[in-house]
A and B are shown apart, each in its own frame.
Chain A
Amino acid sequence: MNAPFFKFGAFNEEISLVIAVLIGVGFGFFLERAGFGNGRKLAAQFYGYDLTVFKVMFSAIVTAMLGLFYLSWIGYVDLSLVYVSPTYLVPQILGGLLLGVGFAIGGYCPGTSCVSAATGRYDGFVYLIGIVFGIFVFGEMFSIMESLYSATPMGSITLPQLFGVSYGMIVMLVVFMAVGGFIFAAWAEKKFAHLRPEEQ
């Protein structure tokens, strides 16, 4: 049987939702095990003395990328059936900045706030309430923001298509970028170790 399983009809939409919940629980579990339920640890990456988030996320990206590349290369995964979300450059840069600012101030991103709330932390619950409120405000303001929301559309474009290079080259460059990032992280964690609060 080939993947993606859902696209090849291995199960129906209802089952796919159940599987999504299971994957979500698994994702949350491993985020928590990596320490991502703790806002202090998450915010630490912005001070440079603990770059666990950076390292875990980059490891996940590299693992998923290499896995997908090779599974597709041997013909097991049909990459053309994997959904690529469309790029809207300006709104996504603005959204990314907004998320980063919120992350640095509050110590959570949306996913980790759920993890935090699941472990019973009050700040996680406050974040969740904020997310729901934010969704409501966004929905109410959508008519005003619609032109920005759909500005600079680039379609479902991937880096190899954008730069006109092979997929393999992008895979290799991302791996190098990750390894460079890990070396930088090790250096930064030593350099900024003095910023680490006593209680951690």
Chain B
Amino acid sequence: MSNFCNRLTYHQWLALIAVVLGLFAFVAGDPYSGSRITIDTKELASIVEGKVDHVTALELADWIIQEKTDYRLIDLRTEDEYSEYHIPTAECVALPDLMELPLQRTENIVLYSEGGIHSAQAWMLLAARGFVHSKMLLGGFEAWQDSVLFPTLPENPAPSELAAIEKLKSVSAHFGGAPQTGGQAISEVKRTITAPKNTTPTATGKPSGGKKKKEGC
């Protein structure tokens, strides 16, 4: 035995170690089982504190306009609400189905519900499963309506605000909305939103875009 060991070169020793580790790997089992995450409350608190757990409606609107494909937008509202109107690129997933969805933890997941409570609960459920990088749409679908589709513009804007207002108008127009000025009856206009329904941009480069949307519904 010692004779055999002495005859081995440095490279052969390394190869032998690799073979032993390879053989042990075969019986060692699944490497993923060693990486289960339990809730780290301090970590979650720091995520919330750092405000990296959410995106604003305008940030999301920018992503959609830029045709970004590195996020996955999930609509947690009911199927009827989804078919009536949904944010472009969103897929409809009911909260109980979210746990069954084959999500990847490297994905940039953005959740939204009507007001934001459901999405916050879903965010916590995902966080418990280790999806600590998922995000919520701040203020939910209501914020999307108020900030993107029907933003309220000041009646007498200061010159420094003009550029921002123009951008807001073009973002709103992109999604078929209409900015409001102070006096208009917003609620009446809101009822007429139908245009954005079919404005889902085609996901460029990623063939999964269209297919995914049907999964949840």
Task: Check A53 for interface membership: any CB of B closer than 8 A.
Answer: no
Residues of A close to B43: CB separation below 8 A:
9
Task: Check B189 for interface membership: any CB of A closer than 8 A.
Answer: no
Contact indicator B208/A66 (Cβ below 8 Å)? no
Contact indicator A172/B26 (Cβ below 8 Å)? yes
Contact indicator A75/B18 (Cβ below 8 Å)? no
Complex: how many Å from CA A174 to CA B21? 11
Contact indicator B37/A78 (Cβ below 8 Å)? yes
| In the complex, chain A residues 4-31 whose Cβ is within 8 Å of any chain B Cβ | 7, 9
Instruction: Count residues of chain A with CB under 8 A from any CB of chain B.
Output: 38
Task: Check A159 for interface membership: any CB of B closer than 8 A.
Answer: no
- Secondary structure dominating the interface of B: helix
Task: Check B166 for interface membership: any CB of A closer than 8 A.
Answer: no
Contact indicator A179/B130 (Cβ below 8 Å)? no
Residue from A68, A81, A155, A176 having most chain B Cβ neighbours under 10 A? A81
Query: Interface-forming stretch among B28-36, B57-65, B81-89, B109-117?
Result: B28-36
Contact indicator B23/A172 (Cβ below 8 Å)? yes
B200 to chain A, nearest CB (A): 18
B interface, size bucket? 20 to 34
Contact indicator B19/A156 (Cβ below 8 Å)? no
Residues of A close to B210: CB separation below 8 A:
none
Nearest chain A residue, comparing its CB with the CB of B34: A75
Residues of A close to B34: CB separation below 8 A:
72-75
| In the complex, chain A residues 113-162 whose Cβ is within 8 Å of any chain B Cβ | 146, 149-150, 153, 155-156
Residues of B close to A169: CB separation below 8 A:
26
Nearest chain B residue, comparing its CB with the CB of A66: B21
Interface residue from B22, B104, B105 paired with A171 (Cβ < 8 Å): B22
| In the complex, chain A residues 56-107 whose Cβ is within 8 Å of any chain B Cβ | 59, 62, 66, 68-70, 72-75, 77-84
Task: Check B174 for interface membership: any CB of A closer than 8 A.
Answer: no
Task: Check A182 for interface membership: any CB of B closer than 8 A.
Answer: yes
Task: Check B2 for interface membership: any CB of A closer than 8 A.
Answer: no
Residues of B within 8 A of A (CB): 11, 14-15, 18-19, 21-23, 25-32, 34-35, 37, 43, 46-47, 104-106, 130, 133, 205-208
Offer 15 A-B interface pairs, CB within 8 angstroms, sorted by A: A66-B18, A73-B34, A82-B106, A150-B207, A166-B26, A167-B31, A168-B25, A168-B27, A168-B29, A168-B31, A172-B23, A172-B25, A174-B22, A175-B21, A176-B22
Residues of A within 8 A of B (CB): 7, 9, 59, 62, 66, 68-70, 72-75, 77-84, 146, 149-150, 153, 155-156, 166-169, 171-172, 174-176, 178-179, 182
